[in-house]
Amino acid sequence: DAGVIQSPRHEVTEMGQEVTLRCKPISGHDYLFWYRQTMMRGLELLIYFNNNVPIDDSGMPEDRFSAKMPNASFSTLKIQPSEPRDSAVYFCASSLAHIYSGELFFGEGSRLTVL
């Protein structure tokens, strides 16, 4: 089975540019999560969806960040405009409903560098 697929794996951009990160969850999973990992702040939950509906976006840093899940097999995280402090590894993860106790399956991450 294919795991969670993220693209791009690496992105280098200049401050002010728009960045779009993409995620394809595991087929059949109904939860999707976006996490950000930095040395300073560790793993932070940005937003998560259940059945394509955003449930909790309290971790989204500010209005420059937005996330969408137009269907069960695709999600995007967009940063516009990007800033150097957005440099981090962004992980997407998916899981089945809580009856499976919430084990998350992570993608390999998208490493973003904003110059």
Partner 1 sequence: AQSVTQLDSQVPVFEEAPVELRCNYSSSVSVYLFWYVQYPNQGLQLLLKYLSGSTLVKGINGFEAEFNKSQTSFHLRKPSVHISDTAEYFCAVRIKAAGNKLTFGGGTRVLVKP
Can you give the binding site for partner 1, defined by CB under 8 A? Answer: 4, 31, 33, 42-43, 45, 48, 50, 55-56, 91, 93, 95, 97-98, 101-104, 106-109
Return the number of the residue (81 or 89) whose C-beta is nearest partner 1: 89
Instruction: Provide, rounded to whole angstroms, the least separation between the CB of residue 54 and partner 1.
Output: 12
Return the number of the residue (65 or 91) whose C-beta is nearest partner 1: 91
Return the number of the residue (108 or 113) whose C-beta is nearest partner 1: 108
**DSSP letter string over the chain?**
----EEE-SEEEE-TT--EEEEEEPPTT--EEEEEEEETTTEEEEEEEEETTEEEE-TT--STTEEEEEEETTEEEEEESS--GGG-EEEEEEEE--GGGTT--EE---EEEEE-
Instruction: Provide, rounded to whole angstroms, the least separation between the CB of residue 33 and partner 1.
Output: 8
Return the number of the residue (8 or 16) whose C-beta is nearest partner 1: 8
Instruction: Provide, rounded to whole angstroms, the least separation between the CB of residue 77 and partner 1.
Output: 15
Query: Cβ distance 29 to 1 under 8 Å?
Result: no
